[in-house]
Amino acid sequence: MDNADHTVLVVEDEVSFVEALRIGLAREGFRVEVAADGPTALDRFDQIRPDIVLLDVMLPKMSGIDVCRQIRKRSQVPIIMVTAKASEIDTVVGLEVGADDYVTKPYRMRELVARMRAVLRRQAPGASPAAELAPGVVAVGELTLDPDEHRVELAGVELQLPLKEFELLHLLMVNAGRVLTREVLIDRVWGSDYVGDTKTLDVHVKRL
């Protein structure tokens, strides 16, 4: 992949990280644009229409989560959340509002670039991400899911799924092509206070 054709918007307020990203990403061939707070990031996004966004969670004036939510109203551009927090809840929230991936500070430049290339490949012509057919309705291949109607169809044939399997399938479909950890799946479907056996997840996944 020729990174020289890609513009990355780095949304970060820590000067040391910004400079390291400028140098490292430029060395990898990316064109780098920077915004230091949420409102500026949205303005710059509208001006330059980047190919990918690196978005810090903790920002002045507006959180990275809110910035991600606003960008998703405008575009399906790849977004990688960057956080100094290692808690699973940050991952869950970031993915729920539309982030494609996340990295935790401190990170290695090689790992970050690899993740960027991966999400860019998924957005390339010929890739097949989940398609939005109508508000809320998601399709992946011949599988279509309507969360409002609690309806799933495979090649036009309706499937009957228990509630938890329906919720799990919905989460997997809207995150098609992304890697979700066991902790993220359990937190999102069963809740952060779940204390049961994690093998429950294995059973549901096997049934799907």
Residue spans of the domains in the chain: they are: 3-123, 131-207
Q: Are 18 and 25 in contact (CB under 8 A)?
A: no
Indicate the SS3 state at residue 103. Answer: strand
Mean pLDDT by 10 residues, the chain (208 residues): 77 91 93 95 94 92 91 86 68 72 82 84 55 63 82 85 80 78 75 58 65
pTM over 0.85: no
The topology under which CATH files domain 131-207 is Arc Repressor Mutant, subunit A (1.10.10)
Distances, alpha carbon 62 to alpha carbons 36, 41, 90, 143, in Å: 11, 10, 16, 37
Cβ-based neighbour number of residue 93 at 10 Å:
19
Backbone torsions φ then ψ of 94, nearest 5 degrees: -60, -45
Top CATH class, 3-123: alpha beta
Q: Are 8 and 32 in contact (CB under 8 A)?
A: yes
